[in-house]
Chain A
Amino acid sequence: MYRKTRHILLSRKTVLALILLLLGGVVLAYVFPQRFLSSSAEMERWQRTHLFWAPWVARLGLDHVYTTGWFASLLGAFCLSLTVSCWDQLRLAARRTLTGALPVGRHHGTHADGQAVESAIRGEGYVCLGSGGGARRFVRHPWGYWGNALLHLGMVIALTSSLVIVLTQKRGLVELVEGEIHSPGSPWTSEDRGTMAERFALPQRVRLDTVAPEFWETDDLKQVTSSLSFLGPDGAVAGQQTLAINRIGNLDGIHIYQGQRFGNAFYVVFTDNSGRAIKKILQMQSPLRRDTASYENISVDGIPYLIKAKYYADAERKSMADGNPLLVLRLVDEGKVIAELPLKKGEEGELGPYRARLVHVSHWAELVFTGYTGMPGIFLGFFIIILGGGLSFFTPPRELFVTREENGVALTCRSGRFDHSQGDECARILAALRGEDAL
């Protein structure tokens, strides 16, 4: 039973079939929209326009390919096959390094002085790896034997690590306005959690103190920097950190990243005819250029209209530095704009049946918190894959055998995988042997 299973797992056809099926899975995940990559609105729209595929999507889990049982089974079978194969490859590499039989019928020539031949061979970078059967075996790049084994080992490590990450990952994304606090257990703006991971909660309260975007003169983004404070149970500041894109923070092993999204937060107070004040913070993403606006559709509790908002980084369109942003509010009733009001900081005016005042403008930014286990395994695995590939293709091993004969020694080459280059080398060594001192 064990042998049969092993045979099936190592069968070349099984390996190839598994690779192709996994590739097929990846292609399916590319063709069909995936839940973790698309919003629920996008998923619904796709389902409405692809009625034929809907039952298949539901039956085969084509909208979440990477977390389906069939994909996990394929991946598991592939990992198992790879592990067994890796073990075989390691044993094969060890055997090839330590032993090697003299090839039959590939005798290339003889020379009287055995010492001279051996020293010439060593001069070419060959290392003597032992003797047996009356022959001394010399190998150039003996580490090349380990290329395939390392290639397989690296794949096992990378796949296993990615599986660990998928199962245990915790990744929470939160959008905070300057001065806002995210407490342990508060809901995330969005969260990715592995199937075996517990709810992701921070060990301390985190406050976003400041956000400072910088721009090039071409209006392209130069950098976004945020400063954070970690608050103890008594509300006192227990620590502070500054984040930026590509500058990662750390909170008790949890990595904190500056997200890509940021912008202005507009504190607007709407007052209706009865004098009731409705306060709303409008978080809008930073515009891409000084002469283009950023747009957002906003629903406000207590206001039965849709508010369409847009803002320019600078009211005079002269820079991206946001000292004087312009917010324009439009009140929309059943698709028709019924009122419009441009506002700068401190200004107020009529917006249909409401009076709106822009009280304050600050910044908001997206922060990403991650808790991963297994990340070094991914990078180590890939490093070993690269090492294995490098050893296989850059330094293929070459073997020479020196056998004692009556009148001296005979030299025999074994064909390597990339024989054309070894053929040249053998010819050169043999020519040198014929010329006595050429090496």
Chain B
Amino acid sequence: MNRFLIIATTLHWVAVFFYVLATIINTYGIIFKKDKAERRSYFVAVGGLLVHGIALLCRWTTAGHGPYIVRYEVLSSNAWVVLFLFLLFSRFFPKIRPVSIFVFPSTFLLIALGLFFNPEVRKLPPTLRSVWLVLHISFYKIALATNLLAGAFSVFYIMKNRTRWAWLHRLPDLESIDLLAYRFAGFGFTFWAIGLLAGSIWAYQSWGRFWAWDPVETWSLITWVLLGVHLHLRRFFGWRGERASYFYLVCFFLSLVTLFFIPLLESSIHSEYFK
């Protein structure tokens, strides 16, 4: 294995260690109301993010392309984007911080899962050398992060509404949780649309088609429309609370299936290089 790849893999494991540590400290801080511990967990997570970022850069340098070809690098970069965006959003919306109890473990689970796939470097095929592809992939990663936050708030809403666990009192009130879930779902819908648009421009540039009803395209469209239906129900039908949360969780599950499983199940341009 290339020296850079060995360094990248080692750094990935170091990042996993940081993230696991951050998760333990964070969960302890949230459950047992230890503010200091919760605050410190963020420093550990930022440390992990830096190490993880260096690992991705090493891989990028070796492969000569961004982390979007093989599953190992796709999952790892998804984890990085999810954590980075969570930290960024939590600066502007401090109320979302308890979502760290979902985001921190999701990050190390994604990265650890990626480490079990073949880390072999694949060269970039000519159709994938387009700025539109980079935008297409980047916005889907951002959509994944925002959808995860909306999903976490939906779960929080259901938990807080149905249980009396003490640590849930640290969360915002039910109405605020519901509105945060709604707003992040709106962000997810918008970023998913940008991903779709960039993808169709890329396809038009590469194949002379903007849409080919490829299985991943089809399921991506279904997911996007369903996310739109969720927003429509909230906006015009007054859906809120548990009903909206459950419906959103269905959309979130579908988005995960579209992003991670359809490319494995079906043969398509999206799966060609991910299998």
Interface residue ranges, A against B (CB under 8 Å): 12, 15-16, 19-20, 22-23, 26-27, 29-30, 34, 37, 66, 148, 162, 165, 171, 216, 218, 220-224, 244-246, 248, 255, 257, 260, 368, 370, 375, 378-379, 382-383, 385-386, 389-390, 392-394, 417-421
Contacts and interface: CB of A to CB of B under 8 A. Distances in A.
A392 B186 contact: yes
Contacts of A16: 229, 232-233, 237
22 contacts: A19-B225, A19-B229, A29-B213, A148-B235, A171-B208, A171-B209, A216-B123, A220-B123, A220-B124, A220-B125, A223-B126, A224-B126, A246-B127, A246-B129, A248-B205, A248-B208, A257-B206, A368-B207, A385-B193, A386-B194, A393-B187, A421-B93
Contact of A375 (B193, B204, B235): B204
Nearest 3 A-B pairs (CB), nearest first?
A393-B186, A389-B190, A245-B126
Contact of B218 (A22, A30, A220): A30
A318 B212 CA distance: 37
Contact of A12 (B196, B208, B237): B237
Given A392-B186, A394-B187, 9 more contacts: A19-B225, A30-B218, A165-B210, A218-B122, A221-B125, A378-B200, A386-B190, A389-B190, A418-B182
Q: Which of A29, A222, A368, A393 has the most CB of B within 10 A?
A: A393
For chain B, the bracket of interface size reads 35 or more
B272 to A, nearest CB: 10
Nearest to B207: A257
A222 B128 CA distance: 10
Contacts of A383: 197
A390 B233 CA distance: 19
A30 B268 CA distance: 13
Contact of B179 (A30, A218, A244, A418): A418
Contacts of B129: 246
Chain A CB within 10 A, most for which of B207, B221, B228: B207
Contacts of B219: 30
A26 B218 contact: yes
Chain A interface, >50% SS class:
helix
Contacts of B183: 393, 418
A26 B221 contact: yes
B66 to A, nearest CB: 16
Contacts of B201: 379
A421 B175 CA distance: 12
Contact of B225 (A23, A223, A379, A389): A23
B236 interface: yes
A390 B98 CA distance: 25
Contacts of B210: 165, 375, 378
A23 B222 contact: yes
A340 B186 CA distance: 64
B37 to A, nearest CB: 26
Contact of B215 (A12, A30, A421): A30
B226 interface: yes
A202 to B, nearest CB: 14
Nearest to B224: A385
Interface string B231-251: 011011100000000000000
A317 B201 CA distance: 38
Contacts of A255: 208
A158 B275 CA distance: 33
B235 to A, nearest CB: 8
B176 interface: yes
Contacts of A220: 122-125
B232 to A, nearest CB: 7
Contacts of B207: 257, 260, 368
A174 B126 CA distance: 20
Given A23-B226, A257-B208, A382-B197, A420 B187 contact: no
A378 B198 CA distance: 12
A271 B200 CA distance: 50
A244 B126 contact: yes
A228 to B, nearest CB: 15
Given A378-B200, A379-B197, A27 B208 contact: no
A15 B232 contact: yes
A390 B190 contact: yes
Nearest to A169: B209
B54 to A, nearest CB: 25
A37 B218 CA distance: 13
Contact of B196 (A382, A393, A421): A382
Nearest to B273: A220
Contact of B197 (A222, A223, A386, A393): A386
A375 B205 CA distance: 12
A390 B191 CA distance: 9
A370 B237 CA distance: 43
Contacts of A15: 232, 236
Nearest to A383: B197
Contacts of B126: 221-224, 244-246
Nearest to B210: A378
A420 B186 contact: no
